[in-house]
């Protein structure tokens, strides 16, 4: 079994999720890889120390460069705010470490290009945190589309809506820092764009409207001083796929009541699919032929036949959770590191997604169709 030393930079929402996932990932493709939590870094030293105790890392630091230089660290996970991804990824690549970076890969496609080209030149394995693609039912949806079960695809409707920025009292934070890139279109839109590309292939053109709904926010929780918001709260896109069909995509972080509505509807000449992450153990399929004359969508429930569900649970209908998707993601990444063969979505794919995000900014500002 190949031992792989793990270093995680950042200990927030994603740092925690990565640590949980790496701990469990060895059990997915059992016997192939043995991840070992070596080091955790955070600018907040107390947070790093807390993660060290909680997850059983061997050491902690407030110096991410020291983590990268650690000879026992083979893989670096970057879970910091977007504006730090470039510097940290380039340093890790320079040190010959394999890199997992959270999405969006970078604030803009120029940074994403630098990261991709550096990684490919050095020959390290990369992956980016598009965890929702790792759902076994999303893999099934892709197989159905590619197998022709839906016929010719004629339309895509995708949305990623949450409400964590919905209140005007929610203060300014790193997610609103333009140095970190765009707003909802980068934070949430990157996920649904990744999903659209995964299922239907490249997007070749788009028209976008980006809107900032809440124009000022408190500088801190409860503060009366306000700071201007310079990024989008809602992005509405019309897109064209290289395969010929068109679709609509919305990214929205002020969608009051929605906590995790990453969803899509795909229509083909022979059938339709609909899915929402709110009920992500279900995929809904409609067949216009061979349905015995009975109309309506069939609800397909996730079960052990949808690999690697069975590595978590032998019984159908018991359901996977968010961190299980992260575990599958990390297991695939570690297997790729072990085999020295990328599994993806890698930096190059994330760069393609970033080009689409950049194009939405141009389209919205210049009020025109942008060809990619
Ligand atoms: N894949 C997903 O579903 C998903 C979900 C949420 C966030 N994300 C992405 O993960 C990244 C982090 O988001 P989060 O929600 O975990 O943020 P967070 O604010 O919860 O955590 C960020 C952590 O990074 C630390 N940090 C900040 N600057 C640092 C630096 N220069 N060096 C070291 N540590 C530093 C902070 O102290 C904090 O612990 C972002 O890129 C975000 O878009 C992905």
100 by DSSP, 3-state: which?
Answer: strand
For residues 37 and 60, give the distance between their C-alpha atoms in angstroms, rounded to a whole number.
Answer: 11
Q: What is the pLDDT of residue 293?
A: 87
For residues 269 and 272, give the distance between their C-alpha atoms in angstroms, rounded to a whole number.
Answer: 8
Q: Where are the beta strands (DSSP E) in 96-178?
A: 98-101, 126-128, 153-161
DSSP 133: G
Q: pTM for this structure?
A: 0.98
Mention every residue, 6+ apart, whose C-beta is less than 8 A from residue 105: 85, 111, 112, 115, 128, 347, 350, 351, 353, 354
Atom of ligand 1 nearest to the CA of 44: 37
Q: What is the pLDDT of residue 270?
A: 97
Question: Among 8, 46, 55, 79, which residue has the most ligand 1 atoms within 8 Å of its CB, making it the best to mutate?
Answer: 79
Q: What is the pLDDT of residue 1?
A: 73
User: Out of 3.40.50.720, 3.40.50.300, 1.20.1250.20, 3.90.850.10, which CATH number does the structure's domain 2-131 have?
Assistant: 3.40.50.720
- Give 85 Cα–ligand 1 centroid separation in angstroms: 10
- Give 326 Cα–ligand 1 centroid separation in angstroms: 15
Tokens 């740092």 belong to which residue?
Answer: 15
Residue closest by Cα to atom 6 of ligand 1: 14
Residue closest by Cα to atom 34 of ligand 1: 42
Q: What is the pLDDT of residue 280?
A: 98
pLDDT tens track, the chain, 372 positions: 789 999 999 999 999 999 999 999 998 988 888 999 999 999 999 999 999 999 999 999 999 999 999 999 999 999 999 999 999 999 999 999 999 999 999 999 999 999 999 999 999 999 999 999 999 999 999 999 999 999 999 999 999 999 999 999 999 999 999 999 999 999 999 999 999 999 999 999 999 999 999 999 999 999 999 999 999 999 999 999 999 999 999 999 999 999 999 999 999 999 999 999 999 999 999 999 988 888 999 999 999 999 999 999 999 999 999 999 999 999 999 999 999 998 899 999 999 999 999 999 999 999 999 999
Q: Structural domain boundaries of the chain?
A: 2-131, 136-279+281-318
Mention every residue, 6+ apart, whose C-beta is less than 8 A from residue 367: none
Q: Which residues does ligand 1 sit against, CB inside 6 Å?
A: 9-15, 41-44, 47, 64, 79-82, 84, 102-103, 129, 131, 187
- Give 176 Cα–ligand 1 centroid separation in angstroms: 13
CATH number of the domain at 136-279+281-318, please?
Answer: 3.30.360.10
- Give 315 Cα–ligand 1 centroid separation in angstroms: 34
For residues 148 and 269, give the distance between their C-alpha atoms in angstroms, rounded to a whole number.
Answer: 10
Atom of ligand 1 nearest to the CA of 13: 16
Are 156 and 266 within 8 A, CB to CB?
yes
């Amino acid at each position: 079994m190949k031992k792989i030393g793990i270093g995680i930079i950042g200990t927030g929402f994603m740092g925690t999720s990565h640590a949980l996932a790496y701990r469990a990932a060895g059990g997915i493709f059992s016997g192939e890889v043995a991840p070992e939590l070596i080091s955790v870094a955070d600018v907040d030293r107390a947070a790093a120390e807390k993660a060290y105790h909680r997850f059983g890392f061997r050491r902690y630091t407030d110096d991410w460069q020291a983590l990268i230089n650690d000879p026992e660290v083979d893989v670096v996970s970057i879970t910091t705010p977007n504006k730090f991804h470039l510097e940290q990824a380039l340093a890790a690549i320079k040190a010959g470490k394999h890199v997992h970076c959270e999405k969006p890969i970078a604030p803009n496609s120029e940074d994403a290009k630098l990261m991709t080209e550096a990684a490919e030149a050095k020959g390290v394995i990369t992956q980016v945190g598009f965890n929702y693609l790792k759902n076994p039912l999303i893999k099934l949806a892709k197989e159905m589309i590619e197998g022709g079960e839906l016929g010719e695809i004629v339309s895509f409707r995708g949305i990623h809506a949450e409400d964590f920025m919905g209140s005007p009292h929610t203060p300014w934070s790193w997610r609103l820092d333009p140095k970190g890139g765009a707003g909802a279109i980068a934070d949430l839109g990157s996920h649904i764009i990744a999903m659209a590309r995964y299922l239907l292939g490249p997007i070749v053109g788009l028209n976008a409207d980006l809107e900032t709904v809440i124009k000022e926010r408190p500088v801190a929780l409860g503060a009366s001083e306000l700071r201007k918001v310079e990024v989008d709260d809602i992005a509405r896109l019309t897109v064209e796929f290289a395969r010929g069909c068109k679709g609509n995509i919305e990214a929205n972080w002020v969608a009051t009541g929605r906590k995790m509505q990453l969803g899509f509807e795909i229509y083909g000449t022979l059938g339709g699919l609909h899915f929402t992450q709110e009920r992500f153990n279900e995929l809904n399929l409609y067949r216009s032929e061979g349905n015995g004359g009975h109309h309506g969508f069939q609800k397909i429930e996730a079960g052990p036949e949808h690999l690697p569900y069975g590595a978590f649970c032998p019984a159908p209908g018991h359901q996977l959770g968010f961190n299980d998707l992260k575990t599958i993601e990390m297991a695939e990444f570690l297997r790729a590191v072990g085999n020295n063969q990328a599994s993806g979505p890698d930096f190059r794919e994330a760069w393609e997604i970033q080009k689409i995000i950049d194009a939405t900014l141009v389209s919205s500002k210049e009020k025109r169709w942008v060809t990619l």
